[in-house]
Amino acid sequence: MNAWIEVNQEVWAESSRRDQEGREVLADPSRRVPVSRLGVAEVERWHARMRRARVREMAMRNGHEVLRAALAQAVRWEWIPGNPAAGARLRQPKRLPRDGMSFETVRTAIAAAREVDTAAGLALRLAAVAGLRRAERKL
């Protein structure tokens, strides 16, 4: 990882150089594993450690991309035959589908807003209409 940073830091933008210092991949214990012994399993265990530490999804994705890029450089330098980060799956957490508000709930919210301020009622009505897909407009 240090060699990858050393080779690239002169061509990175200042913000990229600064951001690399805070990347999760640089702080992980797997960083001490020799690159020749790093495999897909270690990368996926690193993902699991980040999830347990409640690292944000975007930070995990960024860290994975940093690791993938560093290991791609190791492949180009012929240090390793393949990129284990390219084979690792960064799984996304399952998300429950979002439910929209019922039409009656929307009407109630608009009526309550209108009691506070007529402009607020109008703003909510516009938001409700503009936020719906064409096929969903049945207010």
43: Cβ–Cβ under 8 A, 6 or more apart, which residues?
30, 64, 67, 84, 85, 87, 88
Q: Are 51 and 60 in contact (CB under 8 A)?
A: yes
Across 105-125, average pLDDT: 91
- Residue in the block written with tokens 């980060």: 85
Whether this prediction's pTM lies above 0.85 is answered by no
| 54 and 122 fall within a common domain | no
Print the domain residue range for 128.
Answer: 103-136
pLDDT at position 119 is: 92
CA 55/CA 66 separation, integer angstroms: 15
Whether residues 43 and 13 share a domain: the answer is yes
Residues 83, 108, single domain; the answer is no
Q: Tell me: the pLDDT tens digits for 34-60?
A: 888 888 998 898 889 888 888 888 888
Do 71 and 107 fall into the same domain?
no
Higher pLDDT, 102 or 20: 102
pLDDT value for 81? 93
Residue 96, domain member (yes or no): no
Extract the tokens encoding 83: 């990129």
